[in-house]
Chains A and B, each alone.
Chain A
Amino acid sequence: MEQKTTPDFIVIDDEAVNNMICLKIVQSTFPGAVVHTFTEPEQGLEYIIFTYLGNDIENAVLFLDINMPILTGWDVLDKFEKYSTIIKERLKIFILSSSVDARDKQRALNNPLVTDYIPKPLSKAKLQWLFPEYV
């Protein structure tokens, strides 16, 4: 298997503009990084489960929004629950939300699947701070 310098990034947010921002920011910070964006959580979930539960594959970073119609970010985390060990090993999950409500942050941090809570927008500075090893 080919060795990558940076992990793949997955973004799930119903707002297309956020996904565009994430894509540009990630690619500018880590040139050549692969970014998969999904405006429908169901599709993102399907992709993740299909890709990361299957075979021997590199780890990935997931930026997950909370406030989405139909499936919220919390719902997505619940669905991961039953795959938890494998997902935990392969996915680094960050909640990426525009909310600055302390309760949202606390709820995210209380979830063992969540690595950290990032208030939007994603920026180069935040990425460099989160992943100094790839800079």
Chain B
Amino acid sequence: MQVQIKKAVLGVTVDITEQKKLEAERAKMTDDIIKRNKDLEQFSYMVSHNLRAPIANIRGLTEIMQFPDLDDGDEKRCIAELDASVKQLDTVIVDLNYILQVTHRENEMKEQVKFSVLLKDVELSILNLIKNDSVQIIPDFSAIDQLYTLKSYLYSIFFNLISNSIKYRQPEIKPVITITSAKLNNKVQIIFKDNGLGIDLERNGGEIYGLYKRFHNHVEGKGVGLYMVKTQVESLQGKITVSSEVNKGTEFIIEFEIN
């Protein structure tokens, strides 16, 4: 007698959609916590360094102002310095607020942003600087002129890079800034090139995006601009690279995926 063998497969299906969802949620929460922690570190750094600096000056100045033998000239100078320190204090508080806000605006709506229009807006906001220093800005967005992105971030990136180029120009040379876009596969690049003072990257390369890092004497600068630029480029999942030569100029390339 022939035995009939029947083959069977036993399968068990378990719906783990919920589990996967929970895992994803957990990963996102961890991510948020790490980000928040970094913000707090930054915050405490700023409190102990940048908020403290003008306060220390104010305390020093008020001690001097109580000296009985202070002459008129000294008193005037103290008042002027006191005024400057109070303004500096105010600026740090505004910066602090700005920096803490900026890292958490992912909810803002993305939109199609035209580089040429954005540049016009930026130029308008620093028209005085451009005129006073005879700045020449040469845009070329013929390769690609728009990106689906957060307008406020891209605006701040343009604004900071352009104002840096003006701030750190060579004193004897008219500042020329070229801004060019390029399209590579699935990526868009925006290249900012100037003929300014340049940065010694060998010495300072690791720190150029550091908050409150400054690389030039005699130039008004707070060391916030490039920190903001990098933070914003990265929160848009972009990349920023720099090349620079002292007394020749600096080139920043920012790169975003086109989606």
How extensive is the interface on chain A, given as a class? 20 to 34
Is A67 in contact with chain B by the CB < 8 A criterion? yes
Question: Which residue on A lies nearest to B77, using beta carbons?
Answer: A20
Report which of B48, B69, B214 forms a contact with A101, defined as CB distance below 8 A: B48
Is A17 in contact with chain B by the CB < 8 A criterion? yes
A124 to B59, CA, bound (A): 12
Set of chain B residues within 8 Å of A124, measured between Cβ atoms:
63
Given A100-B48, A121-B60, A123-B60, A17 contacting B81 (CB threshold 8 A): yes
A70 to B53, CA, bound (A): 19
Set of chain A residues within 8 Å of B69, measured between Cβ atoms:
28
Cβ B56 vs Cβ A25 within 8 A: no
Chain B residues touching A, majority SS? helix
A123 to B65, CA, bound (A): 12
Is B17 in contact with chain A by the CB < 8 A criterion? no
Cβ B64 vs Cβ A69 within 8 A: no
A99 to B201, CA, bound (A): 26
Set of chain B residues within 8 Å of A111, measured between Cβ atoms:
none
Given A120-B57, A120-B60, A70 contacting B49 (CB threshold 8 A): no
Cβ A98 vs Cβ B64 within 8 A: no
A127 to B212, CA, bound (A): 30
Report which of B52, B57, B74 forms a contact with A17, defined as CB distance below 8 A: B57
Given A17-B84, A69-B217, A70-B215, A24 contacting B67 (CB threshold 8 A): yes
Give 1 or 0 for each of B1-36: 1 = CB within 8 Å of chain A CB: 000000000000000000000000000000000000
Set of chain A residues within 8 Å of B148, measured between Cβ atoms:
none
- Could you tell me how many residues of chain B have their Cβ less than 8 Å away from some Cβ of chain A? 26
B213 smallest CB distance to A (angstroms): 8
B233 smallest CB distance to A (angstroms): 23
A74 smallest CB distance to B (angstroms): 12
Given A69-B214, A69-B215, A69-B216, A121 contacting B63 (CB threshold 8 A): yes
Chain A contacts to B: CB under 8 angstroms:
14-15, 17-18, 20-21, 24-25, 28, 39-40, 67, 69-70, 98-101, 119-124
Chain B contacts to A: CB under 8 angstroms:
45, 48-49, 52-53, 55-57, 59-61, 63-64, 67, 69, 74, 77, 81, 84-85, 212-217
The 10 nearest A-B residue pairs measured at CB: A121-B60, A120-B56, A21-B60, A69-B214, A98-B53, A101-B48, A98-B56, A17-B81, A24-B64, A98-B52
